[in-house]
Amino acid sequence: MTFYNVHNYLTAPGDLGNPRGPIAVVMDFDGNLEQYDEIIDLMGFAAQGAGPHGGMFHWVADVNGGIRVTDVWQDRVTFDDFSEHQIQPYSAKVGVAAPTSVTIYQVHNYLTASA
């Protein structure tokens, strides 16, 4: 069991309906939290607010001198599109290289907060 101090999180932007094949994505970057904050700002997201369409949950923590981002997405296609059009260009813009590792898991079950 590992515990992390969460720096920021984003939640689903609204009703997701029935996710088609949810995945969890764990990415490690050689960036720092200040660069992460700049990326999130460039993407137009507010800290601890709603995330992108198709994103079910997102959190980031400082891990071993870099950052770890853990996301849950409604499906792989939506994540891949967001990665190509948002994560990659904005990370490059602030000087953060591609992730040093990416692990994708199929999600069997998930729980969310209720209104």
Q: What tens digit of pLDDT does each residue of 22-70 get?
A: 999 999 999 999 999 999 999 999 999 999 999 999 999 999 889 999 9
pLDDT over threshold 50, residue 7: yes
- Please state, in angstroms and rounded to a whole number, the distance separating the CA atoms of residues 54 and 19: 8
Spell out the domains of the chain, with CATH numbers in brackets: 6-106 (3.30.70.100)
- Please state, in angstroms and rounded to a whole number, the distance separating the CA atoms of residues 91 and 30: 11
**Whole-structure pTM value:** 0.89
Q: Give Cβ neighbours of residue 110 (< 8 Å, ≥ 6 apart).
A: 22, 56, 72
What is the C-alpha radius of gyration for the chain, rounded to an integer number of angstroms? 14
pLDDT at 115: 45
Q: What tens digit of pLDDT does each residue of 61-100 get?
A: 999 889 999 999 999 999 999 999 999 999 999 999 999 9
pLDDT over threshold 80, residue 114: no
pLDDT over threshold 90, residue 2: no
